[in-house]
A and B are shown apart, each in its own frame.
Chain A
Amino acid sequence: MTTATRAQPKVSWRGTKLNRSTGAGWSFLAPFLIVYVVFLLFPVIQAVIMGFFDWDFLDISDRSFIGLENYGRMFWGSEMTWDIQQLWQWRLVGLALIPVVWWAANRRSLTRGSAVGLTILLVLLFGVALGVHPGEGGRWYDSQFWGSFGNTVLFVVMSTPLIVVVGLAMAVALNRPGRLVGLLRTMFFAPYVLSVAVLTLIWAFLLNPSQGLVASLWESIGLEPINWLNSTTWAMPAIVATTLWWTVGFNLVLFLAGLQDIDRSQYEAAELDGAGAWAQFRYITVPGLRRTILLVVTLQIIASFQIFGQVFIMTRGGPNGATRVAIQHIYESGFRDFELGYASAMSLFLFVVMVGISFLQFRFFNPEESA
């Protein structure tokens, strides 16, 4: 301490060292930073700016400032009214989450403040916002926006629990030593390395009603053939099944890594106490995997929100727009209808929703914070 006050030159020497290492730090960082700022940060800012413009694809210098018009066109319509019956099934499901929130709060998995916040959010979203719709003689300005966004949400809701639970079940089943088990893991993981084009090549034909394997299996047990990808009811479940096959290996790997961290002696102790397989899963595996589960669910939701390739190649969004998703709508608005400004505004909305959801998850369900 005394040396620090006495040795004035040493301080300045330190200063120059810091300066020199600052130079080194920045020069090591510069190449990445330039690419990062130009190709990642700048586009986000650019998207915000473009969202306020009517920006033509065919002549990119042709643009005019239109304020919030793009957003009005996305979210709003003519003759808007509010109706208690509008989308009531969806809204009931959403509102049913409120008791779940309070149940979690009572179990102290959530703080009371968080529970109040979430309740307000759910009431505003499901109780109020979803009741707004165009009344008689009115229509949405962009009739396809909410439809495609809704399909994306539907895909997220259908695929996330399924792919997470199947991945977890596989990991628990395959979490044992042995060569054979290693081989099985490889087999379950293998589809993950295929590109989306190969995936769709296989599955579109697999589901083909006259030549595909699924159809021949289906008919061999005496069922009526179904044209899966051409049915408004079945197209989305077929896409979900395809995606499950393709990506569950990723979750399997993450869960296996998480399982490695659970102390095996806990299971041995539980076994001595006579705990069955389910009890062991419920009281050792699930609590031990809390961090991993949060991570997998978050990554899965983010990935599912970006669904595009499978649908675009297999159904082009059909039949009757039943599988048309948000990114397809953005893509077609920009590159088929040549409206880059409007497409940017929609990208930004999707971005904000995704960031919002990951924020909520880490804010409210972070096991370290609530524990």
Chain B
Amino acid sequence: MTAAATVERAATPSDRTGRMRKTKRRLFLAFLLVAALVWVVPLVWMFSLSLTPNEILQRDTTNLLPQDPTLENFSSVFSVGLTPRWFLNSVIVTTITTVFTLILSAMAGYAFARIRFAGKRILFPLVLAGLMVPKEAMFVPLFLMFAQFDQHNTYYALALPRIAAPLGVFIMTQFFAAIPDELEEAATVDGAGRWRTFFSVMLPMAAPALTALAIFTFVLTWNDYLWPLVSATQREMFTITTGLASLQGNFAQATELGALMARGVIASLPLLILFVVFQRQLIRGISIGSGGK
């Protein structure tokens, strides 16, 4: 049958256009592949420089594959400077922020989506209005608030303003609103109260949305720059992002280039790993997070 089909197809005039189209598609894919490779060159370059000894970097910095690869740049990260401390700060702040964002957003989203209560009609638009407030533009009054309570250079100051994100509430409201009533009613009939229903029925069901929100929050918090720059002014309290930024601005110290790039790699590794593992969830987080879906 395949033979017959081939013979028949060979006879039709559309075969040539079909083959042409196939070649065209392959060429297009090849073009895309080249473009994608060029696109990641800067990343590859950072990895390459971080693995190259500093002596070689003083002569030549244009190799995409490390020459005479070494880990000395990485070992210097642990012996010189505050990078490990900054890394730890980032881990702590990002974890606190993500955990609390998830809990608070899920609870608020559940309330908005599944509970009828007085005041909801006013509160929901009020929370949505918060989506309009650009975080970057409101750092001055926030700074003043934490200064009044003398709370700068603390983990609270770094984490708390991030938790007030209405985006998570919006995402969780959308999610809980889509769950059919029957599931919840079944739990209520079994005698479970609101809180038990929430924790043992609704939350587990929300796992996909929570994962997406968690990844999204993690990435944004880890990469936050302006607020940590304003709030954490003692070097010990820098996050990895503000810390790494503080090391730059002067490439004259190019003797340290390899070590600097190694710090860049360390700052981005958690996210790159997270991205590779949870790529689908992150992308989902973006498309539901922006109200696209």
Write the residues of chain A forming the contact surface with B, with a CB cutoff of 8 angstroms: 18, 21-26, 28-29, 31-33, 35-36, 38-44, 46-47, 50, 55, 60, 173-174, 180-181, 183-184, 186-191, 193-198, 200-206, 208, 211-213, 216, 245, 250, 253-254, 257-258, 292, 295, 299, 302, 305-306, 308-309, 313, 316, 327, 330-331, 334-335, 340, 343-344, 347-348, 350-351, 354-355, 358
Contacts and interface: CB of A to CB of B under 8 A. Distances in A.
B160 A308 contact: no
A213 B260 CA distance: 17
Contacts of B136: 306, 308, 327
B36 interface: yes
A167 to B, nearest CB: 12
Contact of B134 (A33, A188, A208, A354): A354
A99 to B, nearest CB: 31
A334 B105 contact: no
B290 interface: yes
Interface of B: 28-29, 32-33, 36-37, 39-43, 45-46, 61-62, 103-105, 107-108, 110-112, 115-120, 123, 126-127, 130, 132-145, 147-148, 160-161, 163-164, 166, 169, 194, 198, 219, 222-223, 225-226, 230, 240-245, 248-249, 251, 254, 257, 260-261, 264, 267-268, 271-272, 274-276, 279, 282-283, 286-287, 290-293
Contacts of A327: 136-137, 226
Given A29-B123, A188-B39, A347-B140, 12 more contacts: A21-B117, A25-B117, A31-B103, A31-B108, A55-B144, A186-B279, A193-B275, A198-B268, A216-B62, A295-B291, A335-B143, A354-B134
A31 B107 CA distance: 8
A198 B272 CA distance: 12
Contact of B245 (A186, A200, A211): A200
Most interface-central of A21, A50, A198, A344 (chain B CB within 10 A): A198
Contact of A344 (B62, B141, B147): B141
A204 B251 contact: yes
A340 B134 contact: no
B148 A254 contact: no
A5 B198 CA distance: 34
Contacts of A201: 46, 244, 248, 260-261, 264
A213 B62 contact: yes
A359 to B, nearest CB: 9
B117 A60 contact: no
Contacts of B126: 41
Most interface-central of A195, A204, A245 (chain B CB within 10 A): A195
A198 B267 contact: yes
Nearest to B243: A197
Given A60-B148, A340-B140, A36 B166 contact: yes
A334 B140 contact: yes
B39 A245 contact: yes
Contacts of A50: 140-141, 144
Nearest to B242: A197
Given A187-B39, A205-B251, A306 B275 contact: no
A190 B272 contact: yes
B117 A32 contact: no
Given A198-B268, A201-B46, A201-B261, A38 B164 contact: yes
A195 B107 contact: no
A35 B104 contact: yes
Given A193-B274, A196-B223, A355-B132, A350 B137 contact: yes
Nearest to B287: A257
Given A22-B117, A38-B164, A195 B62 contact: no
A21 B116 contact: yes
A347 B123 contact: no
Contacts of B43: 190-191, 194, 202
A193 B36 contact: no
Contacts of B42: 191, 202-203, 206, 213, 245
B249 A35 contact: no
A26 B130 contact: no
Contacts of A343: 140
A211 B40 contact: no
B292 A254 contact: yes
Nearest to A355: B132
B235 to A, nearest CB: 15
Nearest to B230: A335
Contacts of B260: 201
A266 B27 CA distance: 25
Contact of A331 (B28, B222, B230, B242): B230
Contacts of A313: 245, 248-249
A118 B166 CA distance: 31
Contacts of B138: 40, 43-44, 47, 347, 351
A201 B267 CA distance: 11
16 contacts: A28-B115, A35-B104, A39-B161, A43-B138, A47-B140, A183-B36, A191-B39, A193-B268, A198-B267, A201-B46, A211-B254, A216-B62, A306-B137, A309-B245, A313-B245, A335-B143
A204 B283 CA distance: 28
A196 B282 CA distance: 18
Contacts of B140: 47, 50, 330, 334, 340, 343-344, 347
Contact of B271 (A180, A193, A206, A334): A193
Most interface-central of B42, B132, B147, B271 (chain A CB within 10 A): B42
Contact of B137 (A21, A181, A206, A347): A347
A58 B142 CA distance: 16
A204 B248 contact: yes
Contacts of A347: 137-141
Contacts of A18: 116-118
Most interface-central of B111, B139, B141, B290 (chain A CB within 10 A): B141
A252 to B, nearest CB: 10
A299 B290 contact: yes
A41 B130 contact: yes
